[in-house]
Structure 1
Amino acid sequence: MRTPEEWAAHPQGAEVAKRPLVERERLDSAPARELPPPGTGAGPLLPAAGLRVLDLTRVIAGPVATRTLALLGADVLRLDAPGLPELPGQHADTGFGKRSALLDLTADREVFEELLATADVVVTGYRPGALDRLGLTAGALAERRPGVVVAQLSAWGAYGPWGGRRGFDSLVQVATGIAATEGSAAGRPGVLPAQALDHGTGYLLAAGVLRAVGEQVEVGGSRVVRVALARTAGWLLSGASRGDGVSSSGDVAVGGWLSERESALGRLRYALSPVVFEGGPRDWGRGPGGWGADPARWV
């Protein structure tokens, strides 16, 4: 367990601190694309309408990002390896608005390439370098699908001495000083009341994707967006997100943020998205389905 000061002095901490909260990079000079208007008629404003998103993420942060894009109108198809199931409750929570298919990226390569050929966004959430052998680097994807936006999520960032390491929310909290900050005077580590790095980074990634898509439509070029749990941790520790929040010892009124619906998984009671804006959607157009229950094709 490190203090924030110890993390800042660590080579990886110093490298992470140099980076923007959401990194965006133009990869090439691919022509701009046209997208349909974000909303017509009496329906909600859907800024991601018309986008096809391939979701190659797991657990929380990446699925939160793609769940948010689905809320905003994107057609999101999540692809998982057949032998790597997700926790049922976790899949249900992050599966709103999406379809879920199983695909072996080696054996079913032709199917993936057909999906990529008309995809607008590809989101990956594995450790840096893990998917390179499959031709899923940002550059390789852009060569095969010019104009694509590639969104990459990692624990520590794709740089520095820890650039190739795996990681997850709780581990990053311990390494970056959050556990020490939230801990006791006796030195016992503490935790945030939620997986804030996962959720926060997921929402940041969704925002970065929308920004990159807007830039692509305006001036062209394939794009890559990168976020890291460790960079989000530094932002939280800096006080950038602090305000007049509710005390952790008080009751929080959550009634207005909960909803219920029938789904393929049964009746669900769930939290609505915190992404709220005038004219925008308040709930997802569809509930979650079973893990791998959908065909690996666009609709």
Structure 2
Amino acid sequence: MVTGYRPGALDRFGLAPHALADRHPGLVVAQVSAWGGYGPWGGRRGFDSLVQVATGIAVTEGTAERPGALPAQALDHGTGYLLAAAVLRALTEQAHEGGSRLVRLALARTARWLTDGIRPDPAEGEPCPGPDAWLAETDSPLGRLRHARPPLSFTGGPTGWAAPPVPWGSDPAAWR
């Protein structure tokens, strides 16, 4: 079960992770929140853009005149990728060892992970590194595209996307 509510918001309806696990042994519960389940902001509501501001991404991506933002809701997307991986791991562990599992992810933690060690001090006037290290170019039926590289790599794994994008409606309705 995957929820996107702030920690504790569903507890009064009997949907706390421990209550669900008691009723449904072997259940994997995954929780995504803005700030995480602990600390002074743990019970607050939030979403990607607010977390970008609160974690300094708006300063890093902005100018002296105005705050900026990432070109996409990268915290939502990044946390979603991490959530999928964590759920798969929890399901694998559950299949081998039994029991229920709880997975908790927070947009603020993803922001911290994404910005750790790459953020220069804006007061020193250092330019932020450009995105070129994380981008690739691919020829496609739509022309030459500049796009993000796959989010992870491993020895023996693919080094790029399996196929480039194609015009809407040009693929047959079939599994590849």
2:112 aligned partner:
234
Q: Does 1:141 align with 2:35?
A: no
Taking a change above 3 Å as real, the CA distance of residues 197 and 259 of structure 1, as seen in their structure-2 partners, is farther
Q: Does 1:256 align with 2:125?
A: no
Alignment: residue pair count: 141
One-letter amino acid of the structure 2 residue matched with residue 160 of structure 1 = G
Q: In the TM superposition, what is the alpha-carbon distance from 1:245 to its structure 2 partner?
A: 2.0
> Contact 1:216–1:223 at 8 Å: present in 2 too?
yes
**Corresponding residue to 2:78 among 197, 200, 205:** 200
Q: In the TM superposition, what is the alpha-carbon distance from 1:128 to its structure 2 partner?
A: 1.2
Normalising by the residue count of structure 1, what TM-score does the alignment of the two structures yield? 0.43
Q: Secondary structure at the match of 1:257?
A: coil
CA deviations over 1:205-263 (Å, ceiling 9, x no partner): 011000000000111110000000000000110158x871239xxx616981356459x
Unaligned 5+ runs, structure 1: 1-121, 263-268, 270-282, 286-299
Structure 1 Cα separation of the partners of residues 49 and 35 of structure 2: 13
**Corresponding residue to 1:209 among 87, 92, 97:** 87
**Corresponding residue to 1:172 among 39, 43, 51:** 51
> Contact 1:125–1:152 at 8 Å: present in 2 too?
yes
Structure 2 Cα separation of the partners of residues 259 and 239 of structure 1: 39
One-letter amino acid of the structure 1 residue matched with residue 165 of structure 2 = W
Q: Secondary structure at the match of 1:244?
A: helix
One-letter amino acid of the structure 2 residue matched with residue 183 of structure 1 = G
Q: In the TM superposition, what is the alpha-carbon distance from 1:143 to its structure 2 partner?
A: 0.3
1:158 aligned partner:
37
2:122 aligned partner:
none
Structure 1 Cα separation of the partners of residues 79 and 89 of structure 2: 15
Q: Secondary structure at the match of 1:165?
A: coil
> Contact 1:180–1:187 at 8 Å: present in 2 too?
no
| RMSD of aligned Cα (Å) | 2.9
Taking a change above 3 Å as real, the CA distance of residues 149 and 253 of structure 1, as seen in their structure-2 partners, is closer
Unaligned 5+ runs, structure 2: 119-130, 137-144, 149-162
Q: In the TM superposition, what is the alpha-carbon distance from 1:284 to its structure 2 partner?
A: 9.7
Name the % identity. 66
CA deviations over 1:157-180 (Å, ceiling 9, x no partner): 011001100000000000000000
> Contact 1:209–1:225 at 8 Å: present in 2 too?
yes
> Contact 2:6–2:33 at 8 Å: present in 1 too?
yes
CA deviations over 1:6-36 (Å, ceiling 9, x no partner): xxxxxxxxxxxxxxxxxxxxxxxxxxxxxxx
